[in-house]
Amino acid sequence: MSVPAPELPRFRLFDAPSPLAPLHRLSAALGGRTEIWVKREDLLPLAFGGNKLRNLEFLVGAALADGADTLVTSGRRWSNHCRLTAAAGARAGLAVELVLSGPPASVRGPGVVLMTAFGATVHQLPSLDRDAREAEVARVTRAVVERGGRPYVIEVGGSGVLGAHGQALAGLELFDQADAVGVAVDRIVVPSATGGTQAGLIVAAADRSPATRVAGVIVARPASELRPAIGSMVRSLNPDNAAGVDADRAIELDERQLGDGYGRPTAEAGAAADLLAGTEGILVDPIYTAKALASLVSGVRSGALDGQQVVFWHAGGLPGIFEPLD
Ligand SMILES: Cc1ncc(COP(=O)(O)O)c(C=O)c1O
């Protein structure tokens, strides 16, 4: 496999693998028939960690190679990608302009506080309208050019195939760790929003451990939109299908945890978060990782995962615990 393409510029944001650890007490609390492990992307060492740092190594690398002096990107006010872009920009010596769709919360949440602390300029919009967000990104980008700067625009959520190279690397890292401790990794359970993380893991699994299933848990876009987006990233990451991915079979999505939609907590996710906290002392966020954990817990309880070794992909997002979700 040629992921990541060796010629891709990369700006290092961390130099050690994120930990892979067994969750003995959670496994026991759920009946002991499934061996649950966790990949601690939440412990990547920058700005409260999270999976999007993987994307940013390649996105910041591309921006620097392009001679940019300013990163421009967008998301919601709790966007982990925006917070981490602010921190990565600080590390790389790049200015950061963030466009956040609204409406703003009644009190200022940790997302905006942290983005500002890392030195980013935040532009908050009154509504969730996608066209308004894109128009504001275009306006901010023009303003950077008009003042003599060189912008590099990163898609909403840091999504896209360039960033997904970082996720494929994370997958290869997991399989190295799993080999070292003798874990088969029958299944990875991962929250899926733009699908870049799932796409990268699918390609890594096809290359290194074809029996591993990658189960994406839908937290934002519906399966009808997400499936083709993942399929297209898988094809771009793996152009001649060197990894031998059967995309129809490989893209597994659980839509049952979305509840009232993106950023809306659910009772099932809350209960799963409490179970993990109470058995392992590990926190998950209500927007992404708690919903993925709820899917895993429900699969284990149903008996469908009996006898399996399952990795919970803890993608981070912890400031979301304190985000006002009004
Ligand atoms: C904590 C967390 N988990 C999961 C995801 C989903 O990752 P992806 O957009 O690659 O599907 C995100 C994306 O914002 C995230 O911040």
Q: What is the CATH number of the domain that holds 111?
A: 3.40.50.1100
> What is the reported pLDDT for 3?
65
Tens of pLDDT, residue by residue over 166-221, are: 999 999 999 999 999 999 999 999 999 999 999 999 999 999 999 999 999 999 99
Q: Do residues 150 and 204 share a domain?
A: no
3-state secondary structure of 142: helix
> Could you tell me if 307 and 172 lie in one domain?
yes
Asked if residue 13 belongs to a domain, the reply is no
Q: Is residue 62 part of a domain?
A: yes
Taking CA atoms only, the protein residue closest to ligand 1 atom 16 is 80
State which of 158, 178, 210 marks the end of a domain: 158
Residues 232 and 199 in one domain: yes
Residues 83 and 174 in one domain: no
CA separation for the pair 194, 190 (Å, rounded)? 12
Substitution candidate for ligand 1 out of 214, 217, 288, 291 with most atoms within 8 A of CB: 288
Question: Who contacts 225 (Cβ-Cβ below 8 Å, separation ≥6)?
Answer: none
**Nearest 5°: CA angle at 205, between 200 and 209?**
165
The pLDDT of residue 2: 56
Q: Which pLDDT value is given to residue 7?
A: 84
Nearest Cα residue to atom 13 of ligand 1: 193
Residue 244, pLDDT score: 81
Alpha-carbon distance 151 to 80, whole Å?
21
Residues 193 and 281 grouped into a single domain: yes
Residue 134 belongs to a domain: yes
Same domain, 46 and 170: yes
The set of protein residues with a Cβ atom below 6 angstroms from ligand 1 is: 50-52, 80-81, 157, 159, 191-198, 288-289, 315-317
Same domain membership, residue 166 and residue 250: yes
180 shares its domain with 114? no
pTM over cut 0.85: yes
41 with 175, same domain: the answer is yes
Residue among 290, 300, 285, 313 nearest 19 (CA): 313
Residue 146 CA to ligand 1 center (angstroms) comes to: 33
Beta strand extents in 183-326 (DSSP E only): 187-192, 213-218, 252-254, 309-314
Give the residue numbers spanning the domain of 136.
52-158
Decide if 7 is inside a domain.
no
Please indicate, yes or no, whether residues 46 and 74 belong to a single structural domain of this protein: no
Phi (first) and psi of residue 245, to 5 degrees? -85, 130
Domain count for the chain, please give it.
2
**Same-domain pairing of 291 and 267:** yes
> Which residue among 126, 158, 190 closes a domain?
158
Q: Which residues of the chain have pLDDT under 50?
A: none
Strands 252-254 and 20-22, bridge-based pairing: unpaired
Instruction: Kindly give the distance from the C-alpha atom of residue 145 to the centroid of ligand 1, in angstroms, as a whole number.
Output: 30
On whether both 128 and 268 belong to a single domain, the answer is: no
Phi, psi dihedrals of residue 252, rounded to the nearest 5°: -105, 125
pLDDT at 1: 59
Residues annotated as catalytic (active site), given as ranges: 79
Let me know if residue 2 belongs to a domain.
Answer: no
